[in-house]
Structure 1
């Protein structure tokens, strides 16, 4: 289908509970209830190759909250574009952001129709702020950037914090993740930020490779990348200290009380994380 000369992919709004889905098996790892047997089966099989996976996804959720607080308190950004939002859970971006500044504005983006069905849970906003949801896919950044909900909610003449928490790992190299991220950065002004967390095989190459193979057999592309490869995703920004580090090591001083009961796991999360600022 064409929209002003641009090819537009219309996403399905059908919820197929017989096939595993990224948002739903992530919800399962977080201890949520919006998942089905197919999601739990794949989630368990992937987790069998990654010790402490459930603790890791909780650590990622905590990182996201710290990143929101950092860009607001240190960079003065009050607008967020959260892509790959996932199912509503504790401490969504707007909840964290609007505690810091009630006027914060947030646009959530996810391709999963179940997330869209639960979008009302993401719409709770302070009277001073705003939230919106877009049913779109990161593979098609223009479908996000031209959506009326984004244009109506965010002021693209002011800095925007682009949040890609555990979502770039679903972009294979042939999908051109660098080009997709560059397109997003081109749409926002100087002073905007980019936050990324991303799985890696740097801590256990074999274990992560097996987990990725499990996902591939189920039709879910999971691309672990090295620290150096993840650093290249920040092209066009100036990396914020301490750079690309483990989830646990990115500004731990901004931590809140734990959101979830901790599971015993002694090692680092198999993920790198960082943030950069567009000059």
Structure 2
């Protein structure tokens, strides 16, 4: 593990940029960017276009380590290059930004009020390749839609089981049991979730480090005690479908919670914008998210 990266993630001021839309979410991300589905005819062309979009974001002068601690990548992005360097190396060596990798393969069907992760075949091989590509950590998402104790327990158990496998490979897992922001019993789900997370944290070896990526809580500062656990490097927040303004406003009321936004980060950016227009909007977005993250 890169100790400079570890120190940056644990103590640095800033937020995590999520650039990891994949699979079924890629067409939606491209459409938001102004590229319609008839602009590409196969998956490789689609991923080439999304890599061009991400490259434009990463190479922007606005995408700066003054504000951004780390960036989460999709596997296809990890395997591609920016200016002759693999993306993770470009991020760290040129930008001073710590690279992470999304490793989950999407969500299983709804059961017991939750969606577990689908199986991740070949995970160890992916983790070895991630290490070779100088990736620091990983991210994996589950979804909680109802305050179902059995379902939430299964989500957290699965997340930590795979997280342990990731930690054994020398990477830091970002555990992401998202609570649906539109859930009728969101706050009740958050209370059940925190209990299960603390239970799993108590079972970790003393040297194991993880991160948590959680929905912005209904009750302000609800996750402050999780931030104090010695196993937890950082607790980061997903935007979860909130607009950028809503996400920033809610985040700012949670001391110590930092952003790991995806849709809220790229909101308003389009392929048609000039570089000056693109960089100006991205700069304002990044500075606004940063300010909400350091409150």
TM-score category of the 2 structures, normalised to the smaller one: 0.3 to 0.5
TM-score by length of 1: 0.38
Q: Give the helix-richer structure, 1 or 2.
A: 2
TM-score by length of 2: 0.36
